[in-house]
Structure 1
């Protein structure tokens, strides 16, 4: 069982994510903005972080970059899960250090497979 941090400001998307992740045995902690996500991640103990990009406070790109430059967190996998689907967005997400980039709408199985891969199970 992994401990996963999810940052998503949309109540609808967060409910969907909770439903998808609820089918796993992972412990899920949620936040609704970038500043809270970064603060929570810095507490440590997370095996994986899932970030929306468009959020209040700090966007997912900014949070990803901040976490990936922290020596204590740089090895924690980060999945950007966002509606920003342009090639330039994907390029920028990877440049910020994201380990995976999934665009909304997404297939729940796609997300679950990526989580498994990032946690070393694939």
Structure 2
């Protein structure tokens, strides 16, 4: 079991993520905006971070870039989970340091596989 930080401002999307992830037995920490996500990441030790891109405070691109510039997060995988589906968005997200870029709507299996890939078989 690992610790996952989730930054998502949509109640509907959070309910969907909780439903997908409840069987994994990972410990989930939920934040509702980019500033809260960044503060939570720096205050705790997480095995994986899932960031929405479009959210209040700081967007997911900004949070990803800030965290990846910090040596403490160089080995923490970040998954951007977003409705921004243009190739330029994906390019920009990966350039910020994300390990994965998954667009909404998404297949839950794709998210679970990405989590498993970056966290091990836990």
Q: Which runs of 5+ in 2 are unaligned?
A: none
Indicate the residue corresponding to 2:92 in structure 1. 92
Map 1:2-13 onto structure 2 (within 5 A): 2-13=2-13
Alignment correspondent of 1:117: 117
| DSSP 3-state at the match of 2:73 | coil
Match of 1:45 in 2: 45
Matched with 2:24 is 24
In proportion to residue count, which structure has more helix? 2
Runs of 4+ in 1 over 2 A off after TM superposition: none
| Cα distance, 1:44 vs structure 2 | 2.8
- TM value normalised by structure 1: 0.97
Q: Distance in 1 between matches of 2:44 and 2:29?
A: 12
The number of aligned residues is: 121
* Cα distance in structure 2, aligned partners of 1:22 and 1:34: 23
Partner of 1:56: 56
TM-score by length of structure 2 reads 0.97
User: What CA distance in whole angstroms lies between the structure 1 residues aligned with 2:111 and 2:21?
Assistant: 9
